[in-house]
Structure formats: structure tokens, C-alpha cells
Amino acid sequence: MLAQRYRAAALIDVINLLLGMLLFFAPWMFGFVSTLASENAWLSGALISLLATTAGEQRLNLLVGLWVVVSPWLLGLHAEMHIHFIVGLLLVALVLFELWLNVDVEDGEAIADLDAPGPSAVRAHVVAAPEPNRRGSFFGPKRAAVPLRHLPRPTSTTNGASRTRAVEERAA
């Protein structure tokens, strides 16, 4: 499940990168008339592409997407408004989808990855947001109880006798 989220987030980042490149090269591909529209497309496209290659950029990318949607009206770009509007809407929709995918991870719900390699005793997952103790401070997230595997008791000491027997003899 978690691996699917990472794949979906990576795919969304690639699509965001392609949208940023499309917006960056749009003045040449579509023959923008306005210099202001070209500069807006270059700056917005470069910023979208840059944010698509960094981690944790969803909220910034959302702001840039909203700017690209409303900039034709704010800057008076009537001839070039369609490409800005379409790219901006796609970007906003993808960012909102990516934020929706990550909601339960950020809220501290269970994020167990059952497909992950390794024994289950090694993995401990966040299951709830931290709760205050009696004094009101937080000690961090709770961890799921993982059963410990019983380790064999040591059987030899420096004298060659078992520790268990030595302890039992002392107690008796």
C-alpha cells in the first residue's frame, strides 16, 4: 500500500515536471504575442519544474498552480489564457490528489507496509498522534506493540557451567 503511494507520488511529480516544461516552452510552441505572457509562462513553468524535482513541494506547487490559473485575468492575458488556465487546473488537481493521498500519513494513522521485506518484529509503525502525559508534554508517537522473539538464554560462562544453573545454585 505504501509502495503504491510512493509510485503514485512519483508519477504525479513526473506529470508536474512535464506540465512545467510545457508551460515553459509554450511561448515558442504556441507563438505567444504578449511579452508579459511569455515571461509569466517561463517563470511559472521553471518554478513548477523545479518544485516537481524537490521533496515536500505540494503546498508551494499548489500556490504556483493557483497563480497560473488566475494570472491571465490578473495580468490581462486574453490571447494566451487558455494554456495558462488548462495547465494551472491540471497542476492544482494533481497537487490536491497528491495531498489527498498523503492525508492519513500526515495525520499519524496506520502506515503499515505489509509488502516490505524483513521480519515483522523489526517494523514498528506510527498508529496514533502523540498524547500528552500527566504533565502535559508529548513524548512522541506511540508505536505498535510488536511481539519480541524469545532469545535463547546464554548457556556457557567462563567456567564452562551454565549461567542458569549457577544462578539456581546460588538461590538454593
DSSP one-letter string for 17-55:
HHHHHHHHHHHHHHT---HHHHHHHHHHHHHHHHHHTST
Q: Give the Cα separation of 19 and 34 in Å (integer).
A: 21
- Tens of pLDDT, residues 35-65: 999 999 999 999 999 998 887 778 899 999 9
Split at pLDDT 50, 70, 90, the class of 122 is very low
Stated pTM of the model: 0.58
Split at pLDDT 50, 70, 90, the class of 148 is low
Q: Pick the residue with more confidence: 39 or 150?
A: 39
Q: Give the Cα separation of 19 and 50 in Å (integer).
A: 11
Q: Give the Cα separation of 33 and 43 in Å (integer).
A: 17
pLDDT at res. 107:
47
Q: How many CB atoms lie within 10 A of CB 30?
A: 15
Q: What angle do CA 16, 19, 20 make, to 5 degrees?
A: 85
pLDDT at res. 133:
52
pLDDT at res. 39:
94
- Residue 24 makes CB contacts below 8 A (sequence gap 6+) with 41, 42, 45, 46, 49
Split at pLDDT 50, 70, 90, the class of 80 is confident
